[in-house]
Structure 1
Amino acid sequence: MLEAKLAEAGTLKKLLDAIKELVTDANFECNEEGLNLQAMDNSHVALVAVHLEAAGFKRYRCDRPMPLGVNLSSLTKVLKCAKDDDECTLKAADEADVLNLVYEAKNSDRIAEYDMKLMDIDSDTLGIPDTDYDAEVTMPSAEFARIVRDLSALGESVRIEVSKEGVRFASEGESANGSILLKKDGEPDRVLTDKEKKAQKARERGEEPEEDDEEEGDEPKEKKIKKEKVKKEKDVDEDVEMDQEEKDEEEFKANSDDEEEKSEAGDDDEERAARSGRKRQTARPSLPRKPKRPRVRERRTRRTSPALFNFGMNSHVSLTFSLKYLVNFSKSTSLTNTVQLRMSNEVPLLVDYDFGQGFVRYYLAPKIGDE
C-alpha cells in the first residue's frame, strides 16, 4: 500500500507542468526512499529524471516497491482541482488500478477526493552512469530561462561555451545572431570529482571522510609519532587552561560572596533602625562602579540572496544544443531559484534543478556537426 501526503499540492503541480510536454505517459516508481520517475521524450533526444524524497512528505508509507503508470496530462487536470496550499494525499492499494487523490483545505473543512485510472506502461529504467564533468555552471534559474527564451527567437540552436573568459551562450539565425557572456571575478574554480564531492559533504556534516587503508598503512612511523606528540602537548595546554579558569572562577565566587554578606548586614541595620523609630543613616561603602559601556546599536542590514552565478572548469568545453528542449527545461524555474549545468565534450548536458523535497534532472544530447 502507498500513502504519501504532501504539505502543499502546488509542489506536485509545478513538477508536472514542467515535464508534461516532454513526457506523455510514465511510471512513478514508489519505494521506501520516495517517488521516482524516469522517461525519455518521443525522439529519444532528452531524458528526464524526477525524485521526490520520502522525508519531503508530511506522511509517507510504502509497504513494497510498486509502479504507478499515469498519463501526465490527465494527472495535471486532476491536480488543477486543488489549491496550491491544499494538503495532497496520494493513495494506492497493492496491485490497484486506481490512484486516489485527497485534497484537504487548510483554512476550511473542505475535503475533495478524486480517483484516476492507472495504466500498464512497459518501460525499462535506464542506468545513468556517474560522470565526472569538465565544467559546472551554477546560475539563477530565471536568468537561464530568460537567455534560452531570448535566443530561441533568433535560431533553433545555442552554443554553450565554458572558458576562462566566462560562460557564453551564442545563437545564429537567418536574420540575426546573438551572444550572451556571463563573467565572474577571478579564475574559475576546479570541478570536483564525485569522490571529492562525497568527502566534502561528509565534512559539512561533521563526519570524517572515508580514507583508503593503504594510505593510512603507508604513513611513516615518524610522522605518526610527531602527530601523537603534538596531540599530547595540546592536551597538556588545554589542562593548564582549564586549571587557570577554575582558579579564576573560585576567586570570583569568593569576592561575590563577601559583597553579598556586606549588603545583607547593611539591610539588617536598616530594619532595626526602622523598628525603633530612629532615623539611622548607614554609611555603606561606596563600591567603584564599572563604567557603562556605550550602547552600540547593531545595524542590521537585510541580507539579499548572494550572487548565484558561479562556474568551474577543468578544460575548455563548447557544445551545441537544441533551444526547443532547453526552453522546456526552463519551465522548472518555479521550483527553485538556481539551476546547475554540467558539461563535458561529447557527453549529454545535465540540467539540474535541486529543490528542497527532491530534484528534477534533464539530460540532453548535443548536436553533432552543427556549427
Structure 2
Amino acid sequence: MFEVVFAQTALLKKIVDAVRELNETVSLDISASGISLQTMDSSRVSLVTLLLRADSFGGTFKCDRSMTLGVNLKALTKLLKTAGNEDQTTLRAEDDASTLIIVIDSPKEGKVSSFELKLLDLNVEPLAVYDTDAKATVTMSSAEFSRICRDLGTIGDTVVIDAQKDGVSFSVTGDELSGNVTLRPSEAADDSESSVNLQIEEALQQSFALRFLNMFTKATPLSNTVILSLSPEQPFCVEYQIEDAGAIKYFLAPKIEDTE
C-alpha cells in the first residue's frame, strides 16, 4: 500500500503543471525513499526528472512495497482544480490497484471529497539520465530566467547561451529582430534571489530551442532560483530545487547548426 499527504495542495498543483506540458501521461515510481518520475516529450528531445523525498512529508508518507503508477496528468489537473491551494490532498493506492484514490480535505468548508483516478498501463522503459560534471553553471532568479525566455521567444525560435567567466548572455536572432540579454555576476546583499552566481571551468556557447525552455519555466513557482548547467556535447540541465522536498530537472539536447 502507498499513501502520501500533501499538507497543501498548492505544491502538488505546481508539480503537475511543471511536468504535464512535456508529457500528459507519466509513470510515478513509488518506493520507501519517495516519489520519482522520468519522462520525455513526444519528439524525444527533452527529458524531465522529478524526485520527492519520503522524509520531506513529515511522517505522512507510507510505502509497503515499491510500485509504479501510470497517471494521466491532464485528468489529475481537472481533479485538482476542485481543491483550494491550502486544502490537504491525500494520494493512496493499494497493492496492484487499478485506481489512484485522491482525497481532498477542505477544513475551511468542512468538506471532504474523494475521487478515483483510473491508472494507466504505460509499460515505460527506464530512461538514461545524464549525470555529467558541468563545465559551466549559472545560478540565478527563476523569475528572471522565465522572463528572458518569454521575451526572447517573441523574437526567434533559438537562443544562444554564452557562458563566460565575466557573465552569461542569452541571444536570439529572428527574421526582423535580434536581441541579447547579458547578466554579470552579482551578490545582492538585501535579496539573494536577485544575485547571479557563475561557476565557469570552461567557457561554453550552445544553442537551444526556446519552445522547450519556455515549457521548463512552468516550474518557476516551485523555486525562487534556477540552476543552469552546461557541458560540451551534453544536454543542457535546468534544475529547480523544491524547498527541502527534492528537485525537478529538465534536460534538453543542444541544437546542431547545419554546416555546408
User: TM-score w.r.t. structure 2 length?
Assistant: 0.94
Kept in 2: contact 1:320–1:370 (CA 8 A): no
Which amino acid is 1:63 matched to? D
Q: Indicate the residue corresponding to 1:348 in structure 2.
A: 235
Pick closer, same or farther for the CA change 1:326–1:113 going to 2, 3 Å: same
Q: Indicate the residue corresponding to 1:218 in structure 2.
A: none
State the SS of the aligned residue for 2:248: strand
Q: Indicate the residue corresponding to 1:305 in structure 2.
A: 191
Q: How does 1:149-298 map to 2 (within 5 A)?
A: 149-184=150-185
Kept in 1: contact 2:185–2:195 (CA 8 A): no
List per-residue Cα deviations over 1:320-357 (Å, max 9, x = no partner). Answer: 00000000101111111000000012110000001122
State the SS of the aligned residue for 1:96: coil
Distance 1:51 1:185 in 2: 30
Q: Indicate the residue corresponding to 2:253 in structure 1.
A: 365
Pick closer, same or farther for the CA change 1:13–1:370 going to 2, 3 Å: farther
Distance 2:226 2:21 in 1: 20
**Structure of larger gyration radius:** 1
Does 2:183 correspond to 1:333?
Answer: no
Q: Indicate the residue corresponding to 1:255 in structure 2.
A: none
- Which of 206, 209, 222 matches 1:319? 206
Q: How does 1:29-68 map to 2 (within 5 A)?
A: 29-58=29-58, 59-68=60-69
Kept in 2: contact 1:85–1:106 (CA 8 A): no
List per-residue Cα deviations over 1:158-191 (Å, max 9, x = no partner). Answer: 00000123100000000000000001269xxxxx
Which amino acid is 1:342 matched to? S
Which amino acid is 1:69 matched to? G
Q: Indicate the residue corresponding to 1:128 in structure 2.
A: 129
Distance 1:155 1:22 in 2: 21
Which amino acid is 1:337 matched to? N
State the SS of the aligned residue for 2:125: coil
Distance 2:249 2:258 in 1: 25
Which amino acid is 2:177 matched to? A
Distance 2:186 2:141 in 1: 17
Distance 1:176 1:128 in 2: 36
Q: Indicate the residue corresponding to 1:208 in structure 2.
A: none
How much does 1:364 deviate?
A: 0.1
> Which is helix-richer, 1 or 2?
1
Kept in 2: contact 1:25–1:69 (CA 8 A): yes
Pick closer, same or farther for the CA change 1:164–1:148 going to 2, 3 Å: same
Distance 1:113 1:123 in 2: 28
Alignment gaps of 5+ in structure 2: none
Q: Indicate the residue corresponding to 2:143 in structure 1.
A: 142
| Count of residues in Structure 1 that have an aligned counterpart in Structure 2 | 255
Which amino acid is 2:25 matched to? D
Distance 2:200 2:258 in 1: 23
State the SS of the aligned residue for 1:83: coil
Distance 1:370 1:316 in 2: 22
The higher relative CO (CA closer than 8 Å, separation ≥ 6) is in 1
State the SS of the aligned residue for 1:133: coil
How much does 1:101 deviate?
A: 0.5
Alignment gaps of 5+ in structure 1: 187-302
Distance 1:169 1:324 in 2: 15
Does 2:80 correspond to 1:79?
Answer: yes
> Which is strand-richer, 1 or 2?
2
How much does 1:108 deviate?
A: 4.2
Which amino acid is 1:79 matched to? L
What is the aligned-residue identity percentage? Answer: 39
Q: Indicate the residue corresponding to 2:5 in structure 1.
A: 5
How much does 1:106 deviate?
A: 3.4
Q: Indicate the residue corresponding to 1:118 in structure 2.
A: 119
Indicate the larger mover: 48-57 or 316-325. Answer: 48-57
State the SS of the aligned residue for 2:182: strand
State the SS of the aligned residue for 1:181: strand
List per-residue Cα deviations over 1:226-273 (Å, max 9, x = no partner). Answer: xxxxxxxxxxxxxxxxxxxxxxxxxxxxxxxxxxxxxxxxxxxxxxxx
Kept in 1: contact 2:165–2:198 (CA 8 A): no
Q: Could you list the runs of 4 or more consecutive aligned residues of structure 1 that deviate by over 3 angstroms after TM superposition?
A: none
Distance 2:99 2:240 in 1: 30
